[in-house]
Amino acid sequence: MRILLIVHQFLPKRSGGTEVLVRDTGLEMSSRGHEVHVLTTDPDATGRSISVSHEDYVYKGLGVHALGVPKLGSPEEKIRDEYDDDLVAEHVRRYVHWLKPDAVHIFHLIRLSGSVIEVFRDLGVPVIFTPTDFWAICVRVTLMKPSGELSSGPDDISSNCLECRGVERLLPPEELPDTSDKKAMYRKIAERALEQSEGEHPSMSLVRAMLDRTRFLRESINTVDAILAPTKLMRNTLIANGVRPDLISVSPYGIDISSFNAAGSSRSEKVHIGYIGAINRQKGLHVLLEAFKLLPREAGATLRICGDLSTWPDYAKRVYGQAGNDSRINFAGPFPNEQMADELAKIDVLVVPSLWYENAPLVIQSAIADGVPVVASDHEGIAETIDETNGLLFKPGDPEDLTRQLKRLIMEPGFLAQLKGITRNLRTVEDSVDEMLDLYKSRL
């Protein structure tokens, strides 16, 4: 089969969890004799041209078609293009009619937008969707408001989405409802925009474009052939937000475990704590740093932080300052994903202090594959993988509770050794690709 995988960005320029998932899926399919292509975007090329540009290259045998998406149009068009970009859709239509894939598998659509789903459906081939985060229902992707409060998704008219967009900055003071209740204010703004009255403020068209995101993406996603939700949390969240239940099955990510060797014992007398991931607020590194500072120095623990400090510089400055001159803390920088096993070999426990739902971080799967215990935020998606046989959970955003769990690993005799080397609850990339190929064939 000729298979087209869709992802918002790809290697070698970007190497997050979704990109690695697509890479490993594509390589496994390719090893079985299938012709695999990747359609993606190059974030660095965005806005360089007045039309959609593209670059074709080969990555580990996978043919990659990377788009440079222009930033054009009126403010309203820019809002709509995030979820419904006709210019991108037209380019993709020409590309897929040339490629003629036998199956299309979507992993992420940021910058490509939901409008390409109709293009894929017109091919008359299976279109499968594996949602790796909440982009399909949340413009911020994380279901986390600017305040840090978590959301379950848009309300009946998406008025609560206006808070995340800071819609009050678009309207003059006289256009804002006279209320101190922010929830009521956003509701009234949404209702006024949906009335589309004569003589309304020009910015109301922008508000309508914001509100229409929910409807457009819901209708688009409900046209795919099947959805493979990596967690029960994802399945339940999609259903609660209007996605057809009959489309969705729970299908955990499969990972390539060939490079991992389950660790069986502590690497030294000290306990080496590790953080691997993006350096941004929703990942909660500041919570880990505060918790680590609460550990008694005589415990002898160290903290190794692997991540890029340049992507979110303001937050990076905050956590770097928070670490201070503590000699126990090492900012080790980012590393290529191929070195994941080597990095895990340097730590005794991985901490995942995410403030958002996170869904199903591949770094957790990697740690378990290597027999490294995980201490993670007790969010639904994460909690489906972690239990007291392979790690511990703590109250999200609570450094004292995280400290309590770390102390258990450091101070309770034999507890850390008991957890190390456990590799249960894992699914291999071979298993997941078996399911995907069977699904494609059943829809052909």
pLDDT, residue 305, reads 98
Confidence of residue 204 (pLDDT cuts 50, 70, 90): very high
Confidence of residue 387 (pLDDT cuts 50, 70, 90): confident
Strands (E) in 365-420, as ranges, are: 374-377, 391-394
Name the class of domain 2-130+428-443: alpha beta
CB 376 within 8 A of CB 352: yes
Span 232-239, average pLDDT: 97
- The torsion angle over the Cα atoms of residues 208, 112, 11 and 103, rounded to 10 degrees, is 130
Distance of alpha carbon 207 from alpha carbon 204, whole angstroms: 5
Query: Which DSSP symbol is given to 120?
Result: H
Over the chain, what is the mean pLDDT? 94
Judge whether residue 337 has pLDDT over 70: yes
Judge whether residue 268 has pLDDT over 90: no
Tokens (6 digits) for 130: 């594996």
Residue ranges covered by each domain of the chain: 2-130+428-443, 161-210, 272-419
pLDDT, residue 265, reads 45
Span 286-295, average pLDDT: 97
Least confidently predicted of 69-83, 94-108, 368-382, 418-432? 418-432
Confidence of residue 391 (pLDDT cuts 50, 70, 90): very high
Judge whether residue 361 has pLDDT over 70: yes
| Size of the chain, expressed as the number of residues it contains | 444
pLDDT, residue 86, reads 96
Confidence of residue 124 (pLDDT cuts 50, 70, 90): very high
Residues 33-91 pLDDT 10s:
999 999 999 999 988 888 999 999 999 999 999 999 998 889 999 999 999 999 999 99
Confidence of residue 175 (pLDDT cuts 50, 70, 90): confident
> What per-residue string of b and e applies to 17-45 under the rule 16 or more CB within 10 Å gives b?
bbbbbbbbbbbbbbeeebbbbbbbbbbeb
Judge whether residue 264 has pLDDT over 50: no
Give this prediction's pTM: 0.94
Least confidently predicted of 54-68, 101-115, 128-142, 374-388? 374-388
Judge whether residue 249 has pLDDT over 80: yes
Span 400-421, average pLDDT: 91
Span 330-335, average pLDDT: 96
Name the class of domain 272-419: alpha beta
- Distance between terminal CA atoms of the chain? 11
Q: Indicate if 272-419 has the same CATH topology as 2-130+428-443.
A: yes
